[in-house]
């Protein structure tokens, strides 16, 4: 009976997969935007996908979250999408350096694009997203303006192995070269927000001389803010942010966060989905020779928050 049950389950799973494949193939081409983990950061990308979908009704467009921020889980999600007949995938790879083979497998079976964290050693068609080196340099500019007499910074990030993390860190170090400010350590949390906050709490104990904290992923800055507030150190330690979480923007506006470097995931998704659609129709004119499409990052300071927040709200309404 146990064998029969397993066999029946496998047969049913096969039927479901066949049905999904038939649905995708018989209806209209499906494009998927696959993120690297659960985070409010990706809500803007959801809005971008929705905007592109409204303009391209002859395609199905989906944004997919892996169950966990794991190379294996993300790979399985993409393989399931390919098996179901998805024609194009845009992915923020969890760890491009260790998943080259898996990404190449996906790229050999569907049109593969990257965003947020590039995988330049794979067969991806193109990357659309930020220059993370430039973003790191902008973080350095924030720190230099906030700490003219120098200081010791500790950084916090989700995925230490991801290109976006490594490039932001390197960009910040490059931007701080020759100054009295030093980025002495960066702690990873594998996109576990409880761990992210604990990393900050532990750093306050282990490094009482720290004068600056940098949140390299969107949720890191809010966790820094919360940990500093609970420790009674909010406003005493310079905070350099990334992205536009409401807590981050609130801290910038009240002056407890020096400024934040914002990316534009809305445009990654909106322009990226349209780029994939054109590519699948045979129009490759949007793919530059270098296969890199850079959407600039910018610094949002105290005086910029209201206008920036209003623009975000307008985009989300599209």
First vs last Cα of the chain: how many Å apart? 54
**Total residue count of the chain as it appears in this document:** 318
Summarize the chain as % helix, strand, coil (round to 5). Answer: 50, 20, 30
For residue 1, the model assigns a pLDDT of: 32
Residues in CB range of 287: below 8 A, 6 or more apart: 125, 126, 275, 279
Paired tokens of 165: 């993390």
- Here the tokens at position 307 are 């206008």
Q: Kindly give the residue spans of alpha helices, DSSP state H, lying in 84-212.
A: 100-109, 132-146, 163-176, 193-206
pLDDT of residue 15: 36
- pLDDT single digits (tens) 93-119: 988 888 999 999 999 999 999 999 899
At 56 the three-state DSSP class reads: coil
Sign of CA dihedral 30, 34, 39, 43: negative
Angle at 209 between CA 244 and CA 158, to 5 degrees: 35
| pLDDT < 70 stretches in the chain | 1-26, 316-318
CATH architecture, domain 132-262: 3-Layer(aba) Sandwich (3.40)
Give the whole-angstrom CA distance, residue 12 versus residue 20: 12
Residue 161: the pLDDT is 85
Q: How far apart are CA 41 and CA 218, in angstroms?
A: 6
How many angstroms separate the CA atoms of 285 and 69, rounded?
A: 33
Give me the pLDDT at residue 164, please.
87
Tokens for 140, please give them.
Answer: 């350095």
Q: Which fold has domain 2-129+265-287?
A: Rossmann fold (3.40.50)
- Which residues of the chain are in CATH 3.40.50.2300 domains? 2-129+265-287, 132-262
DSSP classification of residue 237: B
């Amino acid at each position: 009976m146990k064998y029969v049950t397993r066999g029946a389950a496998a047969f049913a799973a096969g039927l479901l997969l066949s049905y999904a494949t038939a649905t995708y193939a018989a209806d209209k081409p499906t494009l998927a935007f696959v993120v690297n983990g659960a985070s409010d950061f990706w809500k803007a990308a959801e809005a971008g996908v929705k905007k592109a979908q409204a303009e391209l009704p002859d395609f199905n467009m989906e944004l997919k979250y892996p169950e966990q921020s794991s190379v294996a889980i993300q790979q399985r999600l993409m393989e399931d999408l390919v098996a179901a007949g998805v024609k194009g995938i845009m992915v923020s790879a969890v760890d491009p350096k260790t998943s080259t083979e898996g990404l190449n497998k996906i790229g050999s079976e569907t049109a593969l694009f990257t965003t947020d964290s590039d995988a330049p050693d794979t067969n991806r068609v193109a990357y659309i997203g930020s220059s993370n080196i430039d973003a790191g340099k902008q973080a350095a500019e924030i720190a230099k303006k906030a700490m003219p007499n120098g200081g010791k910074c500790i950084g916090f990030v989700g995925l230490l192995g991801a290109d976006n993390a490594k490039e932001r860190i390197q960009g910040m170090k490059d931007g701080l070269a020759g100054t009295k400010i030093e980025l002495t350590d960066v702690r990873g949390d594998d996109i576990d927000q409880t761990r992210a906050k604990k990393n900050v709490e532990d750093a306050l104990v282990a490094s009482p001389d720290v004068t600056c904290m940098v949140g390299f992923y969107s949720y890191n800055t809010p966790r820094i803010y919360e940990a500093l507030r609970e420790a009674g150190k909010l406003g005493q330690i310079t905070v350099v942010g990334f992205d536009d979480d409401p807590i981050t923007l609130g801290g910038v506006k009240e002056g407890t966060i020096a400024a934040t470097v914002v990316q534009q995931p809305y445009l990654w998704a909106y322009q990226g989905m349209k780029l994939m659609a054109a590519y699948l129709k045979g129009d490759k004119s949007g793919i530059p020779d270098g296969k890199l499409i850079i959407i600039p990052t910018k610094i949002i300071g105290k005086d910029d928050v209201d206008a920036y927040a209003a623009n975000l709200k307008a985009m989300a309404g599209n």
